[in-house]
A and B are shown apart, each in its own frame.
Chain A
Amino acid sequence: MSAFTEPREGVLLSGGEPLIRSDIIELIQAARELGFPRIRLRTNGTPLADPRFLHHLLSAGCQHFEIKLFAGEPRFHDRISGVSGSLEQTWAGIELLRRAVIPGRRDQQPFVGILIPLREDNVTILPETILALVALRPDRIVLSWEIATESVSRTLPAIRNAVNLALLNRTWMLTENIPLCLMKDLEVHVAELYLPPRTCHEQVTQCRRCVFREFCPGIPSRSLKTRLSQEIKPVSTSVHLEAIRSLVRGRRIRHENGYEADGEAG
């Protein structure tokens, strides 16, 4: 996840867990030699708790981190990750990252984003997770919708609450994979609006009547047959429409079902 910046400006090392590779430092060095100015790493963060390893990563050229975290409490996080004690290590990794400076640049710290995959089994603990995280002062938190079965109308208040808690604590938050109609009045937090063109998710029949259809992230395929698709309601008007249209102008968005929209078409 990289808000705004273009793909060729950076490379994302993701997985699985990229840090289990024994050649990860060499991979980062290779990316650096290829001239990528930003090398990002999406990781569960546990190996970062080792200060020497972290120093190697930073020195090799990895200075943007996205730490995947399920919850701020071990009984939730460790159960989902399947590894007992993993939250403690992830937490230690984030703490270390927040104190780290980039070798050779005393005044610059690495970028630390947090990615929270939103699931049926961590929604209830979301406020506690956000409150614990903001105390670590991450640069940004992203909530990524991965729920297949839960009702949106039940989950949405938790998301709105999480956004407000983050803002209250002066931490910027974005959402991923959540249709714009569900993010009404919180449109500014929809990550997809700032991302380079990419494939979007499915749209349903109601979407054809929605003013946001041209640039909506759509619905993840796995959610199509769930209550999510039934809860989709087209948006008939928005004060942001013209400005969003202008923001995404010129970007072709291709949906998984073949529907193609052009930012300029609407």
Chain B
Amino acid sequence: MTPPFLNCCSGQETEVLMAALTVTLVSFNAEGHFSLANGYLKAYVHEDRSLRHRVDLDLVDFAVENHDARQALFYLSQRMPRVLGLSCYCWNMEVNLELARIYKAVAPASLIVLGGPEVGPIAERYLRDNDAVDLVVRGEGEATFRELLRHLAAGEGALEEIHGISYRRDGTVISTPDRPPIADLDEIPSPYLTGVLAPRDRVTYVETSRGCPYRCAYCYEGRHFPGVRLFSERRIQREIETVVRTPGVRSFHLVDSVFNLNKERLRRLARLISEVNQTGAQILTVEILADLVDEETTELLRLANVASVETGPQTVHADTLALMRRPHRADAFARGVRLLREAGIEVLCDLIIGLPGDNFFRFAQSIREVMELRPTTLVFSILHVLPGTDLYEDPPHYGLRFDARAPHLVIDTDTFPFAEIDRAVLMSIPVAKEYNVRLD
């Protein structure tokens, strides 16, 4: 079967050139949040003068907990976009596929494009298993998606020349070569500075870097985006300025895999943030490595008005951490958490249930030892074996079995039977609540 998108560039291309190509990017997010990823895509597309009048692109956000495919379909049926883009994560795949399936039936000539970390690493599988899906953008999406729209709206180049996509042609799934990540992140226009996204209190994310220097076996970032790429300090400054000057915005988040990785950069960013943050807006979350925290770090975080930080350790067991290749020095971690608490910065500690090498009582020991550090908040989550991670690529090596369907929950490991993982999850819910409900 010839995919509909090929028609766009052959039989109907004149019509497409005459009228703007309608594109809708849908994202199912955590309640109240909006998709920064789709904001980047729109900002990057709009920067292209040749596309500005050829593409009519809108973004729409839904809450994965409270909205369903029918509501998204109502929206789409009003607009009937030619291209439907879905932002895919392990937590919204079910609704995304339902939406793709039904919208394809409603609008058979539409092109349904998936992108995001859930689909990029296993693009061909998603295309093989889902007839409604026409194309998958793999890896970092901005440049690839813009090239795709140039092809669709302006007839530029051939589809097979666009790097970083997988698609179906005559029943065969084709993948073009990978596209390297964008070297200079400032090439991507800011969705906040361009007015694509309007900052809102508590749910605005300012990205300061991409990539991670570490390569934890359960994480996607370090494996696919090794090395850290930074947004320029000037760009970060302007974004934060815009965010904090937005009426009603009293807090925002930073996106940075390890905010305190480089002390010198932390010094510069802390000073920069404190200078532009004239309204005293708080930074609600930023990920750090507690192991690297010293007295100066806590002072700098306070200078940047960081209210809370998120850190591991995921498990306290050295052998499991070594197997996961996660850096961890128990004494330094404990000291870091203590210093942060003493500085009045809230500390959120994460533990993962079901890591290879762990078992029920080892998980319980992790809880006990992390609680003894007195973090502000404990967060437990069952292991999600995410596509593109080492765990996903080589489960036998880790003695691991997991659900092939998103959200890819661990089923069992050689050391952690299914029934024990299930009990650990059930135990973790009241333990987290009992701990996290506390007086200020």
Q: Which residues of B contact A193 (CB under 8 A)?
A: 361, 364
* A1-36 with Cβ < 8 A to chain B: 2-6, 9, 32, 36
A108-B437 Cα distance, complex, nearest whole Å: 7
A175 adjacent to chain B (CB < 8 Å): no
A113-B427 Cα distance, complex, nearest whole Å: 13
A102-B440 Cα distance, complex, nearest whole Å: 13
* A209-266 with Cβ < 8 A to chain B: 240, 243-244, 246-247
A172-B439 Cα distance, complex, nearest whole Å: 24
B264 adjacent to chain A (CB < 8 Å): no
Q: Which residues of A contact B374 (CB under 8 A)?
A: 9
B367 adjacent to chain A (CB < 8 Å): yes
Interface size class of B (residues with CB under 8 A): 20 to 34
| Contact A3-B361, Cβ < 8 Å, known A64-B437, A172-B426 | no
Contact partner of A243 among B360, B422, B433, CB < 8 A?
B360
Q: Which residues of A contact B438 (CB under 8 A)?
A: 37-38, 63
Whether B429 lies near A32 (C-beta < 8 A) is no
Whether B371 lies near A243 (C-beta < 8 A) is no
Q: Which residue of A lies closest to B422 (CB)?
A: A167
A193-B427 Cα distance, complex, nearest whole Å: 13
Whether B423 lies near A139 (C-beta < 8 A) is no
A171-B425 Cα distance, complex, nearest whole Å: 11
A3-B429 Cα distance, complex, nearest whole Å: 12
Q: Which residues of B contact A247 (CB under 8 A)?
A: 361-362, 364-365, 368
Whether B361 lies near A39 (C-beta < 8 A) is no
Q: Which residue of A lies closest to B417 (CB)?
A: A239
| Contact A5-B371, Cβ < 8 Å, known A61-B439, A64-B437, A167-B423 | yes
Q: Which residues of A contact B360 (CB under 8 A)?
A: 188, 240, 243
Q: Which residue of B lies closest to A174 (CB)?
A: B427
A2-B431 Cα distance, complex, nearest whole Å: 9
* B172-209 with Cβ < 8 A to chain A: none
Majority SS at the chain B contact face: helix
| Contact A140-B430, Cβ < 8 Å, known A63-B439, A167-B423, A243-B359 | yes
A32-B371 Cα distance, complex, nearest whole Å: 20
Q: Which residue of A lies closest to B378 (CB)?
A: A4
Q: Which residues of A contact B433 (CB under 8 A)?
A: 111, 139
A20-B431 Cα distance, complex, nearest whole Å: 29
A4-B372 Cα distance, complex, nearest whole Å: 9
B435 adjacent to chain A (CB < 8 Å): yes
B331 adjacent to chain A (CB < 8 Å): no
Whether B431 lies near A3 (C-beta < 8 A) is yes
Whether B434 lies near A2 (C-beta < 8 A) is yes
A102-B439 Cα distance, complex, nearest whole Å: 10
Contact partner of B437 among A3, A4, A63, CB < 8 A?
A63
Q: Which residue of B lies closest to A40 (CB)?
A: B434
A188-B421 Cα distance, complex, nearest whole Å: 11
A74 adjacent to chain B (CB < 8 Å): no
Q: Which residues of A contact B423 (CB under 8 A)?
A: 167, 188
Contact partner of B364 among A102, A111, A167, A194, CB < 8 A?
A194
Determine how close the nearest CB of chain B comes to the CB of A71; give it in whole angstroms.
22
| Contact A32-B364, Cβ < 8 Å, known A3-B431, A64-B434, A243-B359 | no
Q: Which residues of A contact B287 (CB under 8 A)?
A: none
Interface residues of B (CB under 8 A from A): 359-362, 364-365, 367-368, 371-372, 374, 420, 422-424, 426-427, 429-431, 433-435, 437-439
Listed by A's residue number, 7 A-B pairs whose Cβ atoms lie within 8 Å are A3-B430, A4-B431, A38-B434, A109-B437, A139-B433, A243-B365, A247-B362
Query: Given A188-B423, A194-B368, A240-B359, 10 other A-B contacts at CB below 8 A?
Result: A2-B434, A4-B431, A38-B437, A111-B430, A111-B434, A167-B422, A188-B360, A193-B364, A194-B364, A243-B360
List 6 tightest A-B contacts by C-beta distance, closest first.
A243-B361, A37-B438, A140-B430, A139-B430, A247-B365, A172-B426
